[in-house]
Amino acid sequence: MLAHTQDAVVVVDKLTYAGSLLSLAGVDEARVSFIKADIGDRDAMQAAFTQHQPAAVVNFAAETHVDRSIDGPAPFIDTNIVGTFVLLETALAMNRARPEPERAAFRFLHVSTDEVYGSLGDDGLFREDTPYAPNSPYAASKASADHLVRAYFHTYGLPTIITNCSNNYGPYQFPEKLIPLMILNALDGRALPIYGDGGNVRDWLHVDDHCAGVLTALQRGLPGEKYNIGGNSERTNLQVIDVLCEALESLVPAATNPAVKDRGSYAALRTFVPDRPGHDRRYAIDASKIARELGWHPGHNFESGLRATVEWYVQHREWCAAVQSGRYQRERLGLS
């Protein structure tokens, strides 16, 4: 947003375990305001909307880790469903009080996931009209929010748009997600836990491509529509880990890393562990609608993007330590 527009941005974040102000360090403070608040807090949202009168709302805020949703779904219901409901209500009340043409120009863009569509076999792709079939509490909470967002368009005429994207990777990702978790564990000489047989397939999307897709949908998408955003980069978890280990070998050779020297290589740290309950086998996105109708295409090649991501984590060990800050030790979650 800051790089591609002249707009001012108001960031609302509860700063849960997954959020950190360190991720905003260095942004242009003249164009960015920060409000520490829960999107489910009606009074706080009303105050924020009244003060800033946003021309658009982009709802990224969520509980996002599937394993945590298995251990404790309650915050997923509170934030992903009720929080989205509160944002919709607040946006609707604000927008109804506006005159045209501002009212029609308002956008509520809801960022969702491909996980709402369930699991694929060896063939096929998720399209925007693929029926919803969420399998984890996380996916079910996102699916529920998507339905509310859709309903606010059809029932109240709020100009909403939904985007459903695939697995993101890139800098600043909290180290509970597969790629940063593996990089940091490997550098520390800890096991690289591979769920099940490692054959689960995800379509990997660079975070910059995702952000560009969200901005494109915000600027050119049609209210009431949904757009899938994917990276055309299907890989098994094992393939991802192998590329990541190769990148690490060239950046910080295992032979020179005291934590790994005895094991001989980063790949030797790979360890098969019990699978995640209800683990979806394959996700794959058909992103032809956003390409055809809005002109968005992913720009990153997965292998070079992953290599750059590995390099970023190698160079930002302090950020990684600070955001974990004793609250998360990269322990196994989601087995209950």
Assess whether 266 carries a catalytic annotation. no
Nearer to ligand NAD, 16 or 265 (CB): 16
Q: Exactly one of 174, 195, 302, 313 binds ligand NAD (CB under 6 A); which one?
A: 174
* Pairwise CA distance, residues 302 & 139, whole Å: 25
How many chain residues touch ligand NAD (CB under 6 A)?
24
> Tokens in use for 313?
């984590």
Nearer to ligand NAD, 234 or 269 (CB): 234
From the list 13, 38, 115, 176, the catalytic residue is 115
Q: How far is the CB of 34 from ligand NAD (least distance, A)?
A: 11
Contact 252, 190 (CB under 8 A): no
Please identify which residue in 91, 158, 165, 212 interacts with ligand NAD, judged by CB under 6 A: 165
Tokens of 109: 């863009």
Work out how close the CB of 209 gets to ligand NAD at its nearest, in angstroms, rounded to a whole number: 12
Question: Which residue, 72 or 264, has its beta carbon nearer to ligand NAD?
Answer: 72
Q: Which of 38, 117, 138, 280 is catalytic?
A: 138
Q: Least distance from C-beta 216 to ligand NAD, angstroms?
A: 16
Q: Which of residues 26-65 bind ligand NAD (CB under 6 A)?
A: 38-40, 60-64
Q: Closer to ligand NAD at the Cβ: 68 or 252?
A: 68
Nearer to ligand NAD, 63 or 209 (CB): 63
Secondary structure in 3-state letters for the chain: CCCCCCCCEEEEECCCCCCCHHHHCCCCCCCEEEEECCCCCHHHHHHHHHHHCCCEEEECCCCCCHHHHHHCCHHHHHHHHHHHHHHHHHHHHHHHCCCCCHHHHCEEEEEEEHHHHCCCCCCCCECCCCCCCCCCHHHHHHHHHHHHHHHHHHHHCCCEEEEEECEEECCCCCCCCHHHHHHHHHHCCCCEEEECCCCCEEEEEEHHHHHHHHHHHHHHCCCCCEEEECCCCEEEHHHHHHHHHHHHHHHCCHHHCCCCHHHCCCHHHEEEECCCCCCCCECCECCHHHHHHHCCCCCCCHHHHHHHHHHHHHHCHHHHHHHHCCCCCCCCCCCC
| CA dihedral for 136, 142, 145, 150, sign (positive or negative) | negative
| Smallest separation, CB 143 to ligand NAD (Å) | 11
CA 92 to chain centre: 25
**Catalytic residue chosen out of the listed positions 13, 63, 114, 203:** 114
**Is 227 an active-site residue?**
no
Window 59 to 118, contacts with ligand NAD (CB under 6 A): 60-64, 79, 83, 111, 113
Name the minimum Å distance from CB 173 to ligand NAD.
Answer: 7
> Does residue 157 interact with ligand NAD by CB under 6 A?
no
Crossing angle for the helix pair 237-251 and 302-315, to the nearest 10 degrees: 50
Least separation in angstroms between residue 101's CB and ligand NAD is 29
Q: How far is the CB of 315 from ligand NAD (least distance, A)?
A: 20
Residue with smaller CB distance to ligand NAD, 83 or 137: 83
Beta carbon nearer to ligand NAD, 79 or 144: 79
Residue nearest to ligand NAD (CB): 19
| Interface with ligand NAD, residue 196, by CB under 6 A | no
Q: Is 28 a catalytic residue?
A: no
Query: Which residues form the interface with ligand NAD (CB under 6 A)?
Result: 12-16, 18-19, 38-40, 60-64, 79, 83, 111, 113, 142, 165, 167-168, 174
Active site residues: 114-115, 138
